[in-house]
Amino acid sequence: MNKHKKYLHISFLIKGGKVVGSFSQSGFSGRGKQFDCQYDVDIIPSTHAERAAISSVPIHNHKQLKRCKIFSIAFRNIDNKICVHHAKPCKTCCKMMHKVGITKCYYSEANKQKLLVCNPSHIMKETDNSIGLKILNIKKYMKYKVNYVLTIRNLNTFRLIEKRQKQIEGRVWRGSIRTLRPGMVITIKCNENNLIARITGVTKYKNFYSLLKTKLKKTLPNVNDVNRGVEYYHSFYSKNAINKHGIVAIHLVPLF
Ligand SMILES: [Zn+2]
């Protein structure tokens, strides 16, 4: 590692004790787009070391990637001391590994002497998008004005939306709720927690029963009984308000 370099992330593939492809470093160009299209993964703005390692094997030889072990190791220069650094693969890289049949990824972690190991398909769901992808998403959605704030009182509810388990927020169709339209990008807020989400649909119903009858799991993932769900909503809204305004199902997809 060059002493002027502050950060180095390398990756390589091993199969039967031999290196497959080549030792690869992370970079900042958009290389590898062909790969992303072929495997239908998100296009990441920079070349992550893991992707560079996988892409170093020509696509027609990708059969040999099956059951390769992939190593992802980062180093950081802190006050002229070279330390290992966090190199857990991001969501897109995990997807990529999974799609080519890699089941073991060894990665470094700051202040840990040993490499950690994971199965990319298992951690695909839990790991975060890379910072690059987040920035790309922010840029993509900057053109929308994100000025509507939907406040959620219950933190558990907020977490369920974040985890995409709760895909529908039910509200009485009144006040500012009536301005919501499909395609709008809004902020969902619960105390200090924020997330940006896109509204993919706005469907009106007569009452909560008619919504929950068909969409219970998407609206209240933790409730098993429609009547329980109706009771839950009736603890926030008066029957009068529901009869007068009707209710609306706001379909949400969290962006970041
Ligand atoms: Zn990555």
- pLDDT digits 0-9 by tens, 140-189: 666 565 678 999 999 999 999 998 999 999 999 999 999 999 988 888 99
- DSSP, collapsed to helix, strand or coil, labels residue 206 as coil
- pLDDT digits 0-9 by tens, 6-43: 778 899 999 988 899 988 888 755 445 555 555 555 55
Sketch the domain layout of the chain as residue ranges.
Answer: 7-138, 144-254
Return the CATH fold of 7-138.
Cytidine Deaminase; domain 2 (3.40.140)
- DSSP, collapsed to helix, strand or coil, labels residue 209 as helix
**Is 144-254 the same fold as 7-138?**
no
Distance 73 CA to ligand 1 centre (A): 12
Distance 123 CA to ligand 1 centre (A): 13
pLDDT of 30: 47
CATH of 144-254, one of 2.30.130.30, 3.40.50.300, 3.40.190.10, 3.30.2010.10: 2.30.130.30
Q: How far is CA 125 from CA 50, 218, 251, in A?
A: 18, 19, 21
Look up residue 145 and give its DSSP letter.
Answer: -
Rg from Cα positions in the chain: 23
Distance 230 CA to ligand 1 centre (A): 43
Cβ atoms of 167 and 200 closer than 8 Å: no
